[in-house]
């Protein structure tokens, strides 16, 4: 039996740019949500570079946020200080809370098909509470939150933790996530398969990896990777 794990931010829920604008306004800064949305992909590329360079936790997160705020031309505050403040506030005011269309419905389809489902996320220690707030916690057998576990993707231990909680071997996981280094490389390192959930496909994909831009493509990718129980289910 296979199990499916999902990253959370930018996979199940995306950055709420309007909320981000409201938060930075609390510090006397101005941010155009539309411009921030347009620069988010570039910020994620910076995050990927940071992870490849070995940065973790606050350092990697703040690299993302500094890049986003700088490229979106946030006005009226010191960017470094603003990014640090947002990180400190993240456990209580998580900015990644806007459900991505169709993704929680895909989770429900997996659950209905009897597929064990979990979350594996580099987060700040209160992700389970956020998923509960969104009314989705009961659909996941495990929420592996790096902020609680003390290790984060691509560390193999976080995938092993999730696999054990779901009752499968790590190589029986199919992990869906948007960060190449953290999600895809991390999953492959434990013998799992992966769905790279991103706006643009890479030039090539390693064996055991599929690409998806949205929920419908993610469902098709899971079927292609052996989650056959979804063949007659709609996400």
Q: Where do we find the tokens 């999730």?
A: 162
- As a whole number of Å, the end-to-end CA separation of the chain is 20
pTM for this structure?
0.86
3-state secondary structure of 30: strand
Query: Residue 178, SS3?
Result: coil
For residue 185, what pLDDT is reported? 95
pLDDT value for 92? 86
Contact between residue 148 and residue 125 where contact means Cβ atoms under 8 Å apart = yes
pLDDT in tens, the chain (235 residues): 899 999 999 999 999 999 999 999 999 999 999 999 999 989 989 998 998 899 988 999 999 999 999 999 999 889 999 999 999 998 888 899 999 999 999 999 999 999 999 999 999 889 999 999 999 999 999 999 999 999 999 999 999 999 999 999 999 999 999 999 999 999 999 999 999 999 989 999 999 999 999 999 999 999 999 997 654 444 3
Distance from C-alpha of 182 to C-alpha of 189, rounded to nearest angstrom:
10
- Residue holding tokens 């509960």? 132
C-alpha dist (Å) from residue 33 to 27, 38, 60, 161, 196:
16, 9, 22, 36, 26
Report the pLDDT value the prediction gives residue 229, as an integer from 0 to 100. 61
**Nearest CA to 173 among 146, 138, 127, 141?**
141
Find the helix packing angle between 57-71 and 40-52, rounded to 10°: 150
């Amino acid at each position: 039996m296979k199990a499916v794990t999902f990253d959370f931010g930018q996979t199940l829920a995306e950055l709420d740019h309007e909320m981000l604008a409201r938060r930075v306004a609390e510090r006397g800064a101005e941010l155009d949500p539309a411009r921030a949305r347009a620069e988010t992909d570039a910020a994620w590329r910076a995050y990927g570079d940071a992870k490849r360079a070995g940065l973790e936790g606050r350092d990697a997160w703040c690299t993302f946020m500094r890049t986003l705020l700088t490229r979106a031309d946030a006005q009226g505050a010191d960017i470094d200080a603003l990014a640090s403040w947002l990180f400190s506030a993240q456990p209580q005011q998580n900015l990644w809370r806007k459900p991505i269309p169709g993704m929680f419905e895909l989770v429900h389809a997996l659950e209905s098909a009897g597929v064990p489902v979990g979350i594996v996320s580099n987060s700040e220690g209160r992700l389970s509470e956020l998923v509960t707030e969104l009314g989705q916690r009961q659909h996941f057998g495990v929420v592996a939150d790096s902020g609680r576990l003390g290790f984060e993707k691509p560390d193999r231990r976080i995938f092993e933790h999730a696999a054990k909680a779901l009752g499968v071997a790590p190589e029986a996981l199919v992990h869906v996530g948007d960060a190449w280094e953290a999600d895809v490389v991390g999953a492959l390192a434990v013998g799992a398969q992966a769905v790279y959930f991103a706006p643009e496909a890479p030039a090539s994909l390693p064996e055991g990896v599929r690409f998806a831009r949205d929920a419908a493509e993610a469902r098709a990718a899971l079927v292609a990777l052996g989650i056959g129980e979804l063949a007659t289910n709609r996400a």
